[in-house]
C-alpha cells in the first residue's frame, strides 16, 4: 500500500492480541459493533441497515460474512486477512466518492449489489441494495489476479453502459 488514503484505519493484527483467538475475535467484533451496530454508516446519503439474522454466537450475520470465507454457510472459516481489515468497510463506504474507490452496480445471486473496490489494496466491499434500504453484505481482499481482472472488467462495463444511458 503506497498511497494509502488518510481516512483508512490501520490493520487489526492478531499478533497484537498475543495469539489469543478469543481476545482477537472480541476486539474485531468491537470494531464491527462500533461501525455497523452502534452507529450506522451513510452511503451516498442513505443510512445503511444491517443483516442481523441468522445470528451465530450472539453476533450478526454480516459480521461473520466480513470475517469468514467459504461457499457453504455452515462451513465458513475465519480468514485473518478479512479480520485484519474489519475497520476498513465503513470508511470505504463513507468515502466512496474518493478517487481511490471504484463503485459500480451489478446483479449477484439474484440481488442488486453495489461494489466498492479499493483497488490499491484490492479490497472489495459489497452492499445489497434492497430498494428502500441498503445493507452491508460482505467485504474481503481479492487476492487472485483473475478475480481482480474480472472486477476491473465489471467496472469498465458498468461505466460504458452508464455513459451510454446518460
Which band of pLDDT confidence, cut at 50, 70 and 90, is reported for residue 162?
confident
Which band of pLDDT confidence, cut at 50, 70 and 90, is reported for residue 163?
confident
pLDDT tens-digit map of 61-95? 999 999 999 888 778 899 999 999 999 999 999 99
Contacts for 106 with CB less than 8 Å, ≥ 6 apart:
113, 115, 154, 158
The pTM of the whole model exceeds 0.85:
yes
pLDDT tens-digit map of 100-134? 999 999 988 788 999 999 999 999 999 999 988 99
Amino acid at each position: 500500500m503506497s498511497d494509502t488514503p488518510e481516512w483508512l484505519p490501520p490493520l487489526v493484527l492478531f499478533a497484537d492480541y498475543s495469539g489469543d483467538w478469543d481476545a482477537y475475535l472480541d476486539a474485531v467484533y468491537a470494531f464491527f459493533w462500533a461501525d455497523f451496530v452502534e452507529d450506522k454508516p451513510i452511503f451516498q446519503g442513505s443510512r445503511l441497515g444491517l443483516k442481523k439474522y441468522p445470528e451465530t454466537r450472539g453476533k450478526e450475520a454480516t459480521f461473520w460474512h466480513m470475517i469468514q470465507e467459504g461457499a457453504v454457510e455452515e462451513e465458513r472459516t475465519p480468514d485473518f486477512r478479512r479480520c485484519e481489515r474489519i475497520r476498513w468497510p465503513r470508511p470505504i463506504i463513507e468515502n466512496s466518492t474518493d478517487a481511490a474507490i471504484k463503485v459500480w452496480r451489478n446483479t449477484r445471486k439474484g440481488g442488486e449489489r453495489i461494489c466498492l473496490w479499493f483497488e490499491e489494496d484490492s479490497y472489495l466491499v459489497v452492499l445489497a441494495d434492497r430498494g428502500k434500504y441498503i445493507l452491508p453484505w460482505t467485504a474481503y481482499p481479492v487476492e487472485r489476479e483473475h478475480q481482480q481482472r474480472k472486477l476491473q472488467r465489471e467496472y469498465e462495463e458498468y461505466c460504458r453502459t452508464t455513459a451510454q444511458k446518460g
